[in-house]
Each structure stands twice: as structure tokens, then as C-alpha cells.
Structure 1
Amino acid sequence: MDRRETAALLAYIGRLDPRTIRTDPGEARDQLAQWHELLSNEDDDVPMATTHGWDARVVARRHIRTSPYQILPADVVRPWVSYRRDRLARHSDPTPPVDPDDQVAWTAALVSTRRAVAAGTAQPEQARAITTGRDGVDPKLKARLREIGSCIPPAARASLAPYRPARAAREAALAQGLPDALSVRCEWCLAQPGEPCRRRRIGPDDGARGTTPRATPHPGRLDLAAAQQGQQTEQAQQTAVA
């Protein structure tokens, strides 16, 4: 806030609260110098108004309406500090449009954005919420997934196959048109749908000593998945005939 804006703010306050008016030229000059010294600061200059919700006149009017005490410069500075703190708390640093290997430019871009947000000349950048469920997927992403068939490229899928044999066996079976064994519960090892079958080691007391994942499902689980697939196919045919 420059000296002229400070004088305008004091004139506005004087119209609302005549107690702040100084009729003596010397006292008026000292009052202006005091307010200007306290409102203007190199690190935290209080502006008259910003484009995003701050107005020193509104703050002064609110104080005069609600407080019986004569307004002081601190009654304007404190709301400004709260305004800055609130904006910075709602700001999440966006990725600067500079080379990330240039540390000086990267830091300067972050500092410049934060100062603009704190000064009220730019809006805080909110972090994007993580969407869940089918309704939260971007339509463009849906179209892209339908086009390529999977979010994992084929080369990456082939490279990952040795490290997840159960998933690779399941994908190979589905590609051949075989029933999805992992879509049903295994009656032998009690693996839930979506989980691979496990090999149980039985101790002398007939208790399970440990379990390790199997690359292929148990035969009984395959038979159960095939029966379920047959039922679904039969129901689909009956529905189509009806």
C-alpha cells in the first residue's frame, strides 16, 4: 500500500469513525506516517485491494461496525496475515513450466507462484481429487483403453509374466477362450475369487504348515469355472430365444 492509498484508507475510516480524524496538520501528518509505516512492508505489504477477495476498506468497516474500540493499524494487518495464511494453506504447488534439472529456475518458479497466491493476484492451485469407481474415469481415458485393450502395453505385460505366473496363466487361458478359474472360489484351498490357488503343506497332525501360491489353479476350480460358464452361456441363449 503506497502513501496515497494509506491516506485514502484513513479518509475512508474518518468518515465512518470521526474519532480517528486529526484536525491539526502536524498530527494528521504523523498519523499518516504511522499507518503507512505499519501497513507497508517489503516482505508483507498490505494492499488496498486484490482481485481475489481482499479489501482493506471492508476490513476497516467490519471492525468499526463490531468493535467499540478505535481502529488501529494492527486491526488491518492481522486479517491480512490470516488471508495470506488461508490462501497458502489451500495452495498445492503445481509443476513449474521449466526444466526440472534447472534447480534455480525451478525454485524461482515455485516462489513466484506462491508469492502471487499469497498476494491475492492469483488463485490457489487445488490438488486434483482421486476419482474412484467407473463413473469417475475420464471419457477420453475410456476411449483410449477400448482402443488399446489394456492400460499395460503388450511388451510390458510380456516382461512381467515371469514375475506373476498366476496372472499370466489366467490371461493366456482367457485369450484361448477357456473359462476363468479365478472368477470362482476354490473348494480345495479356499482361495477367494480373484486370488490364485495355494499349495498347502500338511503336517503330521493334519494341520497346514504353510501355503505357497500356485501358477495354475486346482483342477476342481477349473471344473467349477467351466460349469459356471456353461450355465451363463445357456442362460444367455435362453434369453436371446425369449
Structure 2
Amino acid sequence: MPSRLRRPWRPQLTRAEMGRGWVFFALYVLVFPWVMGWIQRSFHGELPVAESNVVYYLLAATLVFLVFWSFLRHGIDLLLDWLPENLFAFLTGLVGAGALHLLVGLIPLPVENPNQFSYPEQFALAPVATVVILVLFMPLVEETLFRGLLFGTARRYSRLLGYVLSVLVYAVYCVWQFVYAYGTVDLRYLLLFVEYVPMSLALTWCYDNGGSIWSAIALHMVLNAVSLASTLPH
């Protein structure tokens, strides 16, 4: 009877999905944030930030379903067919992310993570909108793009390459906007990428070893919920 410990990797995205997906990836990373910022500046601060962010991520999530529908649908089948493997990948990813986070926390950094201050403010102003964005929409969109598309594409050629690209690109993506957050360019904020390496590595591990993008999405939801809760006053 063949072993089920390691499944051969098979591409889960169709060529059409990959083509559309990379266009969407470029728009999501490079264009959408600037458009959203321009819209908010155009209203001179009168546009409710929380509600507009919900609309922004709702549109992004809708586009993800339209672009990656067959991939996400197939992911449900993989989740059910390989449920023990996906549960194992989820749990080990959760534990691994926590352990690595504690180790990374020992590294002295020249700047503090702005999310430590922005999350409590956002939650105080709009708790439901903050939870919806961080715990529902962001994991769905980002896992589909950074694990499903980026890792899945690179994994076809090299597992190591897939890990390196998925982990580092996502970690840098999480902090690049901090460089411009205070009206000046401060490249020291790029060093904060190390704080996101444990999470990014755990999510990549979860998808690679579980096989379904939905286990990585679920893990991302839990990690974001924990991250939000840790910043709130007790």
C-alpha cells in the first residue's frame, strides 16, 4: 500500500488562472494601495477609514473568487480528502509560528512595529470592521496570492525556491508601507520583515504539507486573530 506521508506535488492552478492571477497580484501589491490612498486623500479625511477598508478588502476578496474560483473549489476537495494531513500541517504550523515568534522577539530592532499602536486604535474606532478585515478578508486574499500563486508557481521548479520566495516576499510585503508611514522615508522599518518570517514560514509549511489552500487560510485567520488580541489592552 503506498505511503501517504508525502504526496507528489502537482500544480493546482490552471494556466488561465496563473495568467489572470499574476495580473491581479501586480495590481493588488503595486496599484490598489496607491489608489486607495488617493481616494482617501481626495475626501480630505472625511471618508470613514474602517468602512472604506472593508469595502476595499471585500472587492479584493470578490476578485480573488472570480480569478481563482476553480483553485479555491479544488482546495475544498483537497481539504476533505487529506483532512488528517491538513490538520497536522495546521497544528504544527501554529506551534512553529509561536515558537519562532518568541525567538525572533529576542532580536533587537531599531524601530517598533506600527501595528502595535494602529491595531488598538482601529479596533477602538471600529471593532467589527477591524476583525472582518484582519481575520476574514486579509487571510483569504493574501494566502491565495502568496501561497497559492507565488509558492505554487515557484514550487513547480524547486521546493526550496518556493519557500524562499513565498516567505521573504510576503514578509517584506507586510512592512514596506511602514517605510513611508510617517511622511518621511525610513528604511529601518524594512528590518521589521524578520517579525513576519515566522508567520510566513508557518503558512508556507502549512500549505506545502497540508495540500489545501484552505488550511493555510485558516491558520492565517488564527494567527491574525492572536496578533490583534495581543495588541489590545487587557
> What TM-score results when the alignment is normalised by the length of structure 1?
0.22
Q: Identify, as 1 or 2, the structure richer in strand.
A: 1
- Structure number with greater Rg is 1
Q: Identify, as 1 or 2, the structure richer in helix.
A: 2
